[in-house]
Amino acid sequence: MAALDPLPELMVEPIVRAALLEDLGRAGDITTDAVVPAGHVSRLVLAARQDGVVAGLDCARLAFRLLNPDVRFTPVVADGARVAPGTVLAEVEGPSRALLTGERTGLNLACRLSGIATATASLADAVAGHKAQIVCTRKTTPGLRALEKYAVRAGGGANHRFGLDDAVLVKDNHVAIAGSVAEAVRRVRARAGHMVKVEVEVDTLAQLEELLTFGADAVLLDNMTPATLAEAVRMVGGRMLTEASGRVNRETAPAIAASGVDLISVGWLTHSAPILDIGLDWVG
């Protein structure tokens, strides 16, 4: 896997800050403020409870340091690392109030992103040996898209479009309103700039044959069997990128990849992947 570039802190901080403010509410951490003396200092470690792939350590770091900049957060592994149960991910030392108050926010984000990275890695492993690449979709948690798509990259996947404004994807409802694939693409071509990529979703080989008469940059082959996907790839003949979607899991992914498609898009990576269990353990 290529080196993983971290997200700029400028992008991550507002998300972490908003999550902290949600948790702090109107009166702050009334439990910790009552129990823990203001000057108390602790040492803790973030440790994996399961096998998986790590993502989101910067979110955990910011959850503590936004509460108190005196917190020292030392990563032991990097995002994208594969870990076993008991692996220490980071060491944290500093004012105990900040550590306990930021614990849940930091863990919520790190567990969520690591779960996405782990699920992505599982599918990437399943299609290893084929050219198909696992990609995510816009089925993300509102407000967390940049982080969740980063987690997909941490797991060895790639990103589909980030929003409605960075690429065209003509879907079935667009075609229904326009009246045909050809008319929907004609309208797009008349309006979109020359730098905008155009992808079109098709449900049948007949729609694909229609699309091939005027072309696009990519075609989304939706809910097709592996055999039908293979025929679609043959029909396209390398003239555009081919993307498969629908009913993708670790068991079905190898056959889908074997059809020869370039991309396999998976919505559940960002909307339903289970978390990776990570704990914050007190060591002194």
Q: Is 197 a catalytic residue?
A: no
* Known catalytic membership, residue 277: no
Q: For tokens 């470690």, name the residue.
A: 45
Out of 104, 138, 161, 197, which one is annotated catalytic? Answer: 104
From the candidates 43, 49, 82, 139, which is the catalytic residue?
Answer: 139
Catalytic entry in 33, 222, 231, 277: 222
Active site residue 171: yes
- Start-to-end C-alpha separation, the chain: 37
Q: State how beta strands 263-265 and 82-83 pair.
A: unpaired
Residue 29 designated active-site: no
Q: Is 22 a catalytic residue?
A: no
Catalytic residue among 171, 186, 247, 250: 171
DSSP states of 71-101: -EEEESS-TT-EE-TT-EEEEEEEEHHHHHH
Residues 6+ apart with CB under 8 A from 175: 181, 184, 201, 207
Structure tokens at 4: 């993983």
Q: Using CA of residue 23, residue 26, residue 30, residue 32, what is the dihedral sign?
A: positive
Q: Catalytic residue, from 93, 148, 199, 201: name it.
A: 201
* CA 12 to each of CA 17, 99, 153: distance values in angstroms, whole numbers, following the listed order: 9, 19, 16
Task: State the catalytic residues.
Answer: 104, 139, 171, 201, 222
